[in-house]
């Protein structure tokens, strides 16, 4: 099983530029973000080889959060070949996450 990639200003563009990439904008202190973590972990296993999962700490990489107009967390961005194909804020269930991924892979 592959680990979730930690994004920052140095690797954000490179990682999100090709394929299907799910980016989780989060913070360590965020309760709803902690609720999303096991759902994302399960999806990471289910979609291994089909999608890349990455996360970005909004406290450590404020400029990327601002650039993408992330106003609340958790926020998930769904990239396909470098373009934001979808985004969702707040906690979502497994079915919703899988449906969004199935539309992209």
Residues with catalytic roles: 30, 33
Tokens standing for residue 100: 């969004």
d(CA 43, CA 20): 13
| Length of the chain in terms of residues written | 105
Nearest CA-CA partner of 55 in 1, 102, 8: 8
Please identify which residue in the block is written with the tokens 């890349």.
52
Contact 26, 56 (CB under 8 A): yes
């Amino acid at each position: 099983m592959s680990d979730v990639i930690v994004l920052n200003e140095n690797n954000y563009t490179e990682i999100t530029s090709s394929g299907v990439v799910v980016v989780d904008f989060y913070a360590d202190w965020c309760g709803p973000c902690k609720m999303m973590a096991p759902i994302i972990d399960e999806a990471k296993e289910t979609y291994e080889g089909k999608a890349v999962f990455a996360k970005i700490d909004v406290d450590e990489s404020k400029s990327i959060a601002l650039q993408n107009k992330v106003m609340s967390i958790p926020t998930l961005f769904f990239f396909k070949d470098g373009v934001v194909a979808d985004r969702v804020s707040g906690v979502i269930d497994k079915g919703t996450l899988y449906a969004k991924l199935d539309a992209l892979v």
